[in-house]
Structure 1
Amino acid sequence: MTATLSFTAPTGHGPLDVTLAHTRVGTGEPLLLLHGIGHHWQAWGPVVDILATEREVIAVDLPGFGQSSALPRGLPHDLPTTTEVLSAFCAALGIDRPHVAGNSLGGLLALELGRRNLVRSVTALSPAGFWTQAERRYAFGVLRGMHRTARGLPLPLVERLSRTAAGRTALTSTIYARPGRRSPEAVVAETLALAHAEGFHETLRAGRSVLFTDDVPGIPVTVAWGNRDRLLLPRQGVRAKHTIPRARLVRLPGCGHVPMNDDPALVARVLLDGSRAQEASALRTSVTAVGW
């Protein structure tokens, strides 16, 4: 069930009126879920029900993606502005310092929220920002190609391809290691979300100079990477560990760039473990990165 929330965000560019789409389910400590570029909150669908048994889950469409409005023309969809919008979104919902988990762009945003001490814990799945310039250019080139393809495919063809495992592989194998597991309806919806993402080009433009180089002290941090990630290569996880020495680095066997679909049970366990305050001291020292 998708709802919308309109609010004013105080940002470095002045107050912004923003409307974000989101879903909110479950009970317990709040857990904010942030998707990657070109996706929508439904990317978390495979794990939401599991997480909701222990957490109040808030999955949001980032500005300019899914059903959320883009930022006003001329304003950058950059890290500082989007972080300020998300902080104001939480305040408008009455949520104080939630746990946060993010994938790709969402992982970068989650780490930035953690760096600013706006959240209780961070779990980042294949977060952006730990690339070399060559790796960033490769990833951005792949993303632009995916966007062009999504925009160029007629809807009847997308629907026809989504009905078979081979077709779902053709449409989504860049981000999923096990694309056949994604439902036809989900593949159609996320292809349309990518095709119509208003914030896509502005977000890529803002990301050209992004590197995450700061530690995230004082809160538990988990960084998890699928060993079959074809977009942001797994070696970037080792760089993340060097940047955030107390983070727990977790390998996700058999998972691609968007691991929630590839192994929902494993990803849900990683997210719940990462947001358990009583395990904070263990999270600061534990490394479960066999095979890195």
Structure 2
Amino acid sequence: MATSVSFTVDSPEGPRTVSVAYERTGSGEPLLLLHGIGHHRQAWDPVLPVLASARDVIAIDLPGFGVSAALPDGVPYDLASVVPVLGSFCEALGLDRPHVAGNSLGGLLALELGREKLVRSVTALSPAGFWTESERLYAFGTLRAMRRGALVLPVPLIERLSRSAAGRAALTSTIYARPGRRSPEAVVSETVALREAAGFHETLAVGRNVAFTEDVPGLPVTIAWGSRDRLLLRRQGVRAKHAIPGARLVRLPGCGHVPMNDDPALVARVILDTSR
């Protein structure tokens, strides 16, 4: 079950209160998990049992996604604002430089947290920010189409589609290489999360100018990319390695853009290896 924490952050218009929902389980060194745009913390459910056997795992709903409230007026969804929000979240929970793993948007945020030395290791799964302009336009167009589909489909139809492997593929094959492995309940939940994501458009709007070009020295970094990623093509991993030469670049065979569902054992092993 989700727990919520509220804390104060600075903004150009003065202090603002941010509330973030999260789930915490396991024991060991702290590990923060960050999901992608339009998703929610449950994206990590397939890997939670393994991670929680070795880490104190904190999976959050990013502000404006899942059941976390939208960012307050005066706090934009850009990296310069969201990274300090995540830092304040860690401070509110008493987390001293946790390990972090992120997927897509969460991977980009994880790398920024690493660059700011707010974490002790980074695992970035298909992180955003290493695209060409044409690749960005393709990814953003695909995400908008997914959002439109989630908004148009009535929930009863989503529920009916999710009962079959073919229906789950129709709803989620853009992000999963093996959508049939996702449970019907999870597919319904994440489709509804996409349609209700208050921060979706604002996050895409500020993402137009995002490019991660700086190194992340002084801590372990792993960049992992699914061989069947249809949203952020795997050649972007090579660019990520050039930008962060000390990073370990790992291929995830048979995995799509959200690899935690496609191969939970492999993804958990990559995260735990990085965070040792």
Bin for the TM-score computed over the shorter chain = over 0.9
Shift of 1:9: 2.0
1:3-51 CA-to-partner distances (Å, cap 9, x unmatched) read 1111112356642200001000000000000000000000000001110
Equivalent-residue separation in structure 2 for 1:189 and 1:197 (angstroms): 12
Structure 1: gaps spanning 5 or more residues: 277-292
Number of residue-to-residue matches in the alignment: 276
SS at match of 1:20: strand
> What residue in structure 2 maps to residue 282 of structure 1?
none
> What residue in structure 2 maps to residue 290 of structure 1?
none
> What residue in structure 2 maps to residue 204 of structure 1?
204
Equivalent-residue separation in structure 1 for 2:170 and 2:65 (angstroms): 23
Structure 2: gaps spanning 5 or more residues: none
Equivalent-residue separation in structure 1 for 2:43 and 2:84 (angstroms): 23
SS at match of 1:128: coil
Query: What's the TM-score, normalizing by structure 1?
Result: 0.93
> What residue in structure 1 maps to residue 78 of structure 2?
78
The answer to whether the Cα contact below 8 Å between 2:12 and 2:74 also exists between their aligned partners in 1 is no
> What residue in structure 2 maps to residue 227 of structure 1?
227
Q: Displaced runs of 4+ in structure 1, greater than 3 A?
A: 10-14
Equivalent-residue separation in structure 2 for 1:103 and 1:168 (angstroms): 21
Equivalent-residue separation in structure 1 for 2:178 and 2:25 (angstroms): 27
Shift of 1:268: 0.2
> What residue in structure 2 maps to residue 158 of structure 1?
158
Q: What percent of counterpart residues are identical?
A: 74
- Is the aligned partner of 1:16 residue 2:44? no
Shift of 1:237: 0.1
Equivalent-residue separation in structure 2 for 1:262 and 1:16 (angstroms): 39
> What residue in structure 2 maps to residue 110 of structure 1?
110
User: 1:151–1:74: structure 2 CA closer, same or farther, 3 Å change rule?
Assistant: farther
Equivalent-residue separation in structure 2 for 1:158 and 1:4 (angstroms): 28
Equivalent-residue separation in structure 2 for 1:191 and 1:13 (angstroms): 34
SS at match of 2:143: helix
Higher mean C-alpha displacement, 265-274 vs 6-15: 6-15
> What residue in structure 2 maps to residue 268 of structure 1?
268
Query: What's the TM-score, normalizing by structure 2?
Result: 0.99
SS at match of 2:65: coil
> What residue in structure 2 maps to residue 216 of structure 1?
216
1:233-289 CA-to-partner distances (Å, cap 9, x unmatched) read 00000000000000000000000000000000000000000101xxxxxxxxxxxxx
Aligned CA RMSD, in angstroms, stands at 0.9
